[in-house]
Structure 1
Amino acid sequence: DLALLHRMVARADVLVQNLAPGAIDRLGLSADVIAEKFPRLIAINIVGYGQDTPYAAMRAYDMLVQAESGICAVTGTPDTPSKVGVSAADIATGMNAHAAILEALLAREKTGRGRIVEIAMFDAMADWMAVPLLHYEYAGRETQRYGLAHASIYPYRPYACRDGSVVVSIQQNNEWKRFCSVVLQRQDLFADERFATNAWRVANRTALDAEIEPIFAAIDCEEAINRLNEAQIAWGRVSAMRDLPHHKALRRTEVALPDGRRIAVPMPAGRSEGFATVPSVPALGADTDRIRSEFAA
């Protein structure tokens, strides 16, 4: 099997591995061996933490990396740090690996040589934390947790109506003016110096919410959305899991399972309808014989 792996690598464009640190070296595919024997190979080594850091040997799973990187420190409610509800570290690492592979393939067209790239899960999450990090180090401001409210733009949060909630996003002062006059029907709030700029609205969010919340609480979602549309204010609903399967923006594609069943999954971003003819998930070992035959000694 090891000889088979080496024969496959010899003909491959890309090798992706996320084994424990050092395991790929023990398989005879260290950086030195790859550079000597497979100079055109693009080798993507997925690790938890940079191998030139004291965390090199640390075990790394999605939630552990979210916690270590500070993602949980800026996610959740004021009282409760939370992880992102999906495997953000895993997904971001895969996306970074995909981008690195494409860059390396383009570079190889010019140089004729492959490259070895390390993709660390922690790096992916630390990159996502760039804005809170810059705020902390250069502005002396520590990003707080506000649940579904934005930390540095206000009002940018859900407001409860009589029959549900609507998320409102005010990004510019001309939007704030329209929001006050059309949605809230309170032009006096636009004239209030406490709320004159985004920075002041963020600083006085509690006082501002005390003015806004009763207005939304007195109307239903449809009325709120009608006013927001009239004022050209961005809005969104807080969808529950039961809402997503029926969401009007959800595009799907079918995937065939090994037992013949078909399931509908979200259409990958950047793909159009019919990008593949019902891709199938292979059963365990489905390609083993074909691979042994293709890469026979």
Structure 2
Amino acid sequence: MLPLEGIKIISLEQAVAAPFASRQLADLGARVIKIERPETGDFARNYDQTVKGMSSHFVWINRSKESLTLNMKADSGKSIFKDLLKDADVVLQNLAPGAMNRLGFSNEELHKINDKLIICNISGYGSNGSYVNKKAYDLLIQCEAGFLSITGTEETPSKAGISVADIAAGMYAYSGILSSIIKRARTGKGEVLDISMLEALGEWMGFPMYYSLYGDKEPKRTGSHHATIYPYGPFQTAGEETIFFAIQNEREWVNFCENILHNPDLAVDSRYCNNSKRVENKESLQREIEDVLNTKSLHEVMNELEENKIANAQLKNIKQFANHTQLRERKRWIDVETPVGRIKSLLPPAANSKEDIKVSPIPEIGEHTNQILTELGMDQDTIKQLKDSQVI
């Protein structure tokens, strides 16, 4: 039995944040009913067509769900939504700011329908404050949270290559819902979770925030080098190949100087004798390091670092990551069915095998509409009328 078997989640979701949260709940066995717009569905379905004609975003975060198309502005659509909520455990949504209230489904109204409901609202800036109605997308939250100010090169602020604000919000929605399910088992009552993308990413900004608030300057943008630890980042080896490695303490620094650079005097050089000095003089230290590493191949440097227990990595592209030896040896890949055939997917990090999660297909738009409405007691004539009137 999976942990969330018997839990029913109704999700008015789109894009990344809420779908990422609900997919993880589905992985644990929850029944997730994904409500989509009739005909067009979740707009993330059309971000690209790279996965056998499907969107890479959509296939990532929408397996193991049931798709119900529903016009939430129609009275009959609202009635169906209410019926779904009567025996639901969780309602999750990341619609535009204020959309649920405009539809007549405020938190108070939802709890009148079912006082055991766990209500999880994901928004850019939260349910109150002067930014409450401000539209928010991932890159814009990265800006507002200060993320871009510390990411990139000195000349050019850069966004993260993935949707970090959406993912952060989805992770806190997921963990918050799990906590609320445990709490409800004790109290018998539902509650409201107000997840802000700004605050979710803000939690991840803890180190630079404290560094700036209590230090005398903000962390600099240093490209792929660490802003406050050195050496920690990329260095050139022979053949212009790049090795990444990290020195985390003074013991490792001495070891590195003695056994990699073969220059023990460098460890006690007044310019480099502690981390703060090394950061201050990193340009000259980089030359010292690369003068030695440029005489060795990438393979040689990696072997020497491994032998001396110094953390290191090779810069891999996405296909190299997908073919990573460690993922293959640990059997981390599973197959997932889609409307266009089988695709590969990574196991969730906490799952030891496919048997630890629910794996069912990625749904087509409205694939489960007929089944779900039949469960609610509707006959086929009624369902046809709803379809003809574009409610479903």
TM-score by length of 2: 0.73
Aligned-pair distance for 1:179? 0.5
Matched residue of 2:325: which SS?
A: coil
Aligned to 2:354: 274
- Higher mean Cα deviation, 48-57 or 165-174? 48-57
Distance 1:131 1:278 in 2: 37
Query: Could you list the runs of 4 or more consecutive aligned residues of structure 1 that deviate by over 2 angstroms after TM superposition?
Result: 34-37, 272-279
Distance 1:143 1:190 in 2: 25
Offset from partner CA, 1:197-236 (integer Å, 9 cap, x none): 1111111111211211111111101110121112111101
Which of these residues, 102, 127, 142, is aligned with residue 51 of structure 1?
A: 127
Q: Percent identity?
A: 36
Aligned to 1:169: 246
User: Which 5+ residue runs of structure 1 have no aligned equivalent?
Assistant: none
- Higher mean Cα deviation, 10-19 or 263-272? 263-272
Distance 2:346 2:294 in 1: 34
Aligned partners of 1:254 and 1:279 also within 8 Å? no
Offset from partner CA, 1:133-180 (integer Å, 9 cap, x none): 111111122011111100111110111111421111100111111101
Aligned-pair distance for 1:277? 7.3
Which of these residues, 151, 163, 181, is aligned with residue 105 of structure 1?
A: 181
Distance 2:299 2:197 in 1: 42
Distance 1:283 1:134 in 2: 46
Aligned to 2:12: none
User: Which 5+ residue runs of structure 2 have no aligned equivalent?
Assistant: 1-76, 379-392
Aligned partners of 1:49 and 1:55 also within 8 Å? yes
Distance 1:189 1:98 in 2: 48
Aligned to 1:185: 262
Aligned to 1:264: 344
Aligned to 1:142: 218
Aligned to 2:280: 203
Distance 1:198 1:7 in 2: 61
Matched residue of 1:223: which SS?
A: helix
Which of these residues, 139, 151, 160, is aligned with residue 227 of structure 2?
A: 151
Query: Does structure 1 residue 4 correspond to structure 2 residue 80?
Result: yes
Aligned to 1:290: 371
**Bigger relative contact order, structure 1 or 2 (CA pairs below 8 A, ≥6 apart):** 2
Offset from partner CA, 1:8-48 (integer Å, 9 cap, x none): 11110000011112211233321222333321100001111
Matched residue of 2:165: which SS?
A: helix
Matched residue of 1:179: which SS?
A: helix
Matched residue of 1:171: which SS?
A: coil
Aligned partners of 2:116 and 2:188 also within 8 Å? yes
Which of these residues, 33, 56, 59, is aligned with residue 109 of structure 2?
A: 33
Distance 1:68 1:145 in 2: 16
Which of these residues, 120, 139, 153, is aligned with residue 77 of structure 1?
A: 153
- How many residue pairs match? The answer is 296
Aligned to 2:39: none
Aligned partners of 1:155 and 1:169 also within 8 Å? yes
The amino acid that maps onto 1:269 is P
Aligned partners of 2:97 and 2:135 also within 8 Å? no
Aligned-pair distance for 1:278? 5.2
- Higher mean Cα deviation, 244-253 or 285-294? 244-253
- Higher mean Cα deviation, 281-290 or 270-279? 270-279
Matched residue of 1:109: which SS?
A: helix
Matched residue of 1:281: which SS?
A: coil
Change over 3 Å in CA distance of 1:277–1:40 after alignment to 2: closer
Aligned-pair distance for 1:245? 2.4
Aligned to 1:254: 335
Aligned partners of 1:42 and 1:101 also within 8 Å? yes
Distance 1:169 1:92 in 2: 26
Offset from partner CA, 1:249-296 (integer Å, 9 cap, x none): 23311111113x111122221122323575311111111011101123
Query: Does structure 1 residue 132 correspond to structure 2 residue 181?
Result: no
Offset from partner CA, 1:40-82 (integer Å, 9 cap, x none): 1000011111222211111111111111211111111111100
The amino acid that maps onto 2:361 is S
Aligned to 1:115: 191
Query: Does structure 1 residue 217 correspond to structure 2 residue 294?
Result: yes
Aligned-pair distance for 1:117? 0.8
Matched residue of 1:102: which SS?
A: helix
Offset from partner CA, 1:108-135 (integer Å, 9 cap, x none): 0111111011111111111111211111
Aligned to 2:144: 68
Change over 3 Å in CA distance of 1:278–1:10 after alignment to 2: closer
Aligned to 2:16: none
